[in-house]
Amino acid sequence: MVGWLLVSCSPGSNTVTAPDKEVVPIILIAGQSNSRGVGKVADLSLSDQKLVEDLATGAIPSHLWNHSTQRFENVKAGINTAVKNGALLNFTPELFGVEVGLAVQTSAMNFWDQAHIIKWGKGGATLDQRYLGSHGNWSPEFSGPTAHYPFFIDQIDKALETIESSGKVGVIQLLIWIQGESDSRWDLGNNEGSYGEAYVGNLRNFINALYSPGTFKSPQPNFSILIARIHKGLEQFANCERYARYPGCTPFQSVDTVALAQETIEKEFPSVSIFDLTDLLFPELDSVKLNTWIEDGQLTPGETYYGDIHYVSEDLWDAMPARIAKELVELPTFEEVPKGR
């Protein structure tokens, strides 16, 4: 079970109340490139492509926040699939992430068929920068043009305002957090202890910031968080020519450190669960496949992975959404949440 469902809360507290207005459940998806997604519609079967088309046309109702148009739109490939790390708004039309399959999975799930999705994922995004006291561009403390946290919060607030303007109230139910690959690449030398402390500290601060009263303009509960487990097979995946800018490069040698940090956070927060997708990322730990690098985001015939360590289209469309939907089924409905204090 992911956690429990709260309907609303008073500012400065986690007091549970039931709103008088119609509630719109919100699912957040965030992290780095695997949360953004590099699936291609052309890779799917013709029947699945038809479902994607039905989402885009509205034949299957769905709601995805478009950072560019500043409104909720029908879920379709290309919305919020920015690829270039330096540009906050740079979409790639042919790509999609887990949100497309998730919209189909939740369309027949009663309450969850009205879920509104807000997604922000960027390739190479980090929580840390190798040493204690440092902050990656997903950290609330990070500032600069590529600071993801304040942009994400701002977009959530604007989405909540849009829902409120329609006479309803948006309540965040779930964050799907897929991040950690980039933070597994550092050459730690003798600093692994401090780095592990730094990463778990930044992940803890990130969650505490999300849960802090006043983070969002409209009060939100301590929503459930699913953290995708970092794949320990990454340590076998090295190509130092590509990562030569890291001294003494052995990419992904700190996977255990990040994995331990995720497990530590799961124990600290009752609303946090680790979400195991590792069998999808590397179904076969084949050294040829793991060391095949595709430049410019292009697949060649017979190759399994997009770029380096990305989920393939079919997994983003089917397996991942199905597992998330299974977790959603276990969340209580609004009728099961007592009204008032």
**pLDDT of 114 higher than 80:** yes
Q: Is the model's pLDDT at 330 over the cut of 80?
A: no
Contacts of 35 (CB under 8 A, 6+ apart): 29, 97, 98, 119, 120, 121, 176, 177, 178, 179
pLDDT of residue 99: 93
Cα–Cα distance for residue pair 277/263, rounded to 1 Å: 15
The residue assigned the tokens 């009663």 is 110
More confident residue, 194 or 320: 320
The whole-number pLDDT of residue 87 equals 43
Residue-level pLDDT at 275: 86
The closest alpha carbon to 202, from 219, 179, 185, 218, belongs to 179
pLDDT confidence band for 337 (50 / 70 / 90): very low
Domain boundary assignment for the chain: 21-329
CATH 3.40.50.720 fits 21-329, yes or no: no
Looking at the DSSP assignment, which residues form a beta bridge with residue 263?
A: none
Q: Amino acid identity of 263?
A: E
Q: Is the pLDDT of residue 329 over 60?
A: yes
| pLDDT tens digits, one per residue of 24-57 | 999 999 998 889 888 888 889 999 999 999 999 9
pLDDT in tens, 2-31: 333 444 333 334 444 556 788 999 999 999
> What does the mean pLDDT of the chain come to?
76
Task: Name the least confident of 15-19, 223-227, 257-261, 323-327.
Answer: 15-19
49: three-class secondary structure by DSSP:
helix
Q: What is the pLDDT of residues 147-186, one digit of tens each?
A: 999 999 999 999 999 999 999 999 999 999 999 888 876 5
Amino acid at 231: H
Predicted confidence at residue 302, as pLDDT, reads 40
Tens-digit pLDDT profile for residues 191-203 = 444 456 778 888 9
Tokens for 42?
């052309």
- % of the chain at pLDDT higher than 70: 68
